[in-house]
Amino acid sequence: MCGIVGYVGPKQAYDYLIEGLFRLEYRGYDSAGVALQQAGQIDVRKKTGRVSQLAELVKVQPVTGNAGIGHTRWATHGEPSDANSHPHVGGNGEVVLVHNGVIENYALLRDKLTELGYVFRSATDTEVAAHLIAHQLEEETKLGSDPTLAETCIQAVEKAIKKIKGTYGLAILFRDVPGLLVAARLGSPLVVGIGKGEYYLASDASPLVGHTEEVVYLNDHEIAVITADQFQLRHQNGGSNAKHIKVLEQAAVDTDLGEFEHYMLKEIFEQPTSIENALRGRLDDDEATAVFGGLNMDPQKLRCIDRIVLTACGTSWHSALVGEYLIEEFARIPVEVEYASELRYRNPPMTDRTMVFAITQSGETADTLAAMRECKRKGHPTLAICNTVGSTIAREADGGIYLHAGPEIGVASTKAFTSQVTVLTLLALFMGRMRNLSYPAGKRIISHLREMPDKIRQTLKCYDAVKEVARKYYTAENFLYMGRLYNFPVALEGALKLKEISYIHAEGYPAAEMKHGPIALIDEDTPSVFIAPRCGIYPKVMSNLQEVKARRGPVIAIACEGDDKIADLADDVIYVPDVDEYLQPLVTSIPLQLLSYEIAILRGCNVDRPRNLAKSVTVE
């Protein structure tokens, strides 16, 4: 969840560190801090609050140095405070580090280190790692068997992290070894950027944009030993690992706000392009099917698959629900949608003909990664639908499909959702054409998919209508979202968006389930959002809507253009283009994204950095 940066080279490290922390702030914004090494000492500056508050502190208390680390925090152990902010100091100042992850056995380690005389100044689990490495360094120094102090420090890290249970991405400086930066990874992402006579470190690639085009993604149990003139990869059990250098394809413009006030709004309006990118090169008119280059499964093996499990968390779980409907309708294959956080601890009956898809924007979601690894361990084909090139899930899956949506900085996912739904539609088409979906049906689906970027552009024209609705209802404290079939997952996603960024309680339901309990919540102060485009059960949805109106509940309807009937019943209507039922989630989700955004703005909320949330959930 937290963000880590590091630098070693000829330049002043602070400039890169603070820029990188601003770019990583979506990973955590409870507090921020930096540590810089200079003249035989390590100076630490840290501050509760946003990165901008840290920057103001450093203006008053400047720091300099050519080697440094930085951190922006999402609190796990210990409330947000200056004392709990990273970096943390170990021993008598000989070790300073930052950490992303959770140390599960921190209480036991803390007790042992306290007995040894180490003094703890925070309530974090991270300070345990700092003192543990300091203690191990002291023990290694006593042995006196290593030729250099630098090697002693590295071995201290190797031995200390073996005693840690949990997850970590660590970046460590040593007071007495100038210019040495050691990084270690288990479960929490780290990437090294390769420059000319300088090296960069970060939790993901975004801080590296504009500084280098060559990167190395650390794997679990790897340790990076970095100085200004060399970079070595080692395994925590000893020995060197080969470096697999990747080209960083992300452009600086991808992370700029441009004309938009917030990343969330920018990313909502990028959806015509992100959907175009998801479709590009994947539509085969001759065979009336989709084309994927990275599934790494031959057609014969794919035809033997008789069950698919889609596993994900949060918004990705909602897109998986849409995928379940798509694949079962087009390919006639049974599909299960599993919360990754539950699947990793369950033992569901799965045969060797079950294929697993892990769906994730970041490719680093801890629960999804663990669930995928468990399924892979049991011999099931495990594939990924992922946005982030080089991420752990993308690298460890047997194959997969990239979204190509571009960086998504806003914590509340928007374009990743519609890109995932687009890719799942392609997957349903692909699997369907391998089985019983007809050639004309495949051609029709391809034709409709090609129209979707323009349909999304038309949908975005509803923004002015959404603003009017938001002004009318932004003071409400409860919302209900109703949808059926393909639009039931959209109701769940709309409710999640409102909860995430406006802090309003909201629930999503299949519209027909309302009378089985939720109807008790209906009153004049509880708006109900009905996702009611034309479909085969449109009259049923209208009947559910009338049940709400009969109880004087306000109704906001998401409806197809030209639907005058619903306008006579609903208090407010937001119109979207009329598309086939299986494509409706792509258009009906957009006004709900805009509605949550506008309500959050009117309530004075920080839409890009909502409280208690972070973009990439890399801890359990």
At position 298, the amino acid (one-letter code) is D
Catalytic annotation on 378? Answer: no
The C-alpha atoms of residue 342 and residue 130 are separated, in whole angstroms, by 32
Cis peptide preceding 87, ω within 30 of 0: yes
Greatest distance between any 2 Cα atoms in the chain: 85
Check if the beta carbon of residue 7 is closer than 8 Å to that of residue 13. Answer: yes
Do the Cβ atoms of 434 and 333 come closer than 8 Å? no
| 352 burial type by CB count under 10 A (0-12 exposed, 13-18 middle, 19+ buried) | exposed
Given the residues 2, 462, 535, 605, select the one marked as catalytic: 2
Q: Is 415 a catalytic residue?
A: no
DSSP states along 148-214 = SHHHHHHHHHHHHHTT--B-EEEEEEETTSTT-EEEEEEBS--EEEE-SS-EEEESSSGGGTTT-SE
**Encoding tokens for residue 457?**
């552009």
CA distances to 244, 320, 451, 481, 482 from 492, rounded to whole Å, are 40, 12, 26, 7, 8
* Among candidate residues 493, 523, 497, the one with its CA nearest the CA of residue 586: 493
Closest to 239 measured CA to CA, from 345, 362, 350, 155:
155
Instruction: Give Cβ neighbours of residue 546 (< 8 Å, ≥ 6 apart).
Output: 569
Q: Please give the Cα distance from 22 to 24 (Å, whole number).
A: 5
Provide the 8-state DSSP code for 530: E
Identified catalytic residue from 46, 266, 455, 615: 615
Let me know: does 413 contact 501? Beta carbons within 8 Å.
no
Query: The sheet that has 31-38: what strands, in order across it?
Result: 41-48, 31-38, 67-73, 3-8, 199-202, 191-194, 214-217, 246-247
Closest C-alpha to 334, from 343, 325, 322: 325
> Cβ–Cβ contacts within 10 Å for residue 590, how many?
28
- Tell me which residues are annotated as active site: 2, 615
